[in-house]
Homo-oligomer: A and B are copies of this chain.
Amino acid sequence: MAEARRPRAASEEKRRRILDATEEIMLKEGYAAVSSRSVATAVGIQAPLVHYYFSTLDDLFVAVLERRAGRNVERMAAALLSTAPLRAWWQLASDRRGTALFVELLAAANHRPALKAEVGAIAREIRRMQLEVLESVLEEYGIDAEVFPPALVAAAMQGVAFSAVQDSVAGYDTAADEALAAMDRLIDRLEAGRSN
């Protein structure tokens, strides 16, 4: 029995290029513009080759999400363990490219069950990590957990980032940059006054 031959060096690289191109298209033209042909053109290959690497478009979307999410779960875990958890978390949450992509994935997930399941699993995992840390750390920040329970703080971090970044990226004139700056200052204040 012959040894399993290793795939060519170029093939893992090609997977990466396909995922990169898909992200780019989602950001520039929306998730609905993602098709085997549009992705293929962007990469410089033929459409069926996309299906060779990702047999259906659902698989492709899920792969885009998983690559992003895998990195983000790690980063969030590291952020929450850092010496300034709120600041590190906020920096992650307010990433512009990530947020823009998130809007598309969220909307796409609404009518792609496989993607929706994956989004749900990742969202739950990340929130679980956040809540766990907040349980023990809110007090150090001097935040009254009666008034601002972990679930609300987590929703606020996520929500403010989402709302302001989305408006800022899209160019909607809603004082979004002012809100982002104020949030920066608020986080600074909280980190400075942290008791531990």
Contact = CB atoms under 8 A, between A and B. Distances in A.
Interface in A151-187: 151-152, 154-156, 158-164, 166-167, 170-176, 178-179, 182-183, 185-186
A109 interface: yes
Contacts of A166: 106
Contact of A171 (B100, B120, B152): B120
Nearest to A110: B30
Contact of A111 (B30, B161, B164): B30
Q: State the main secondary structure of chain A at its contact with B.
A: helix
A149 B180 CA distance: 11
Interface of A: 28-33, 100, 103-104, 106-111, 116, 119-120, 123-124, 127, 131, 147-152, 154-156, 158-164, 166-167, 170-176, 178-179, 182-183, 185-186, 189
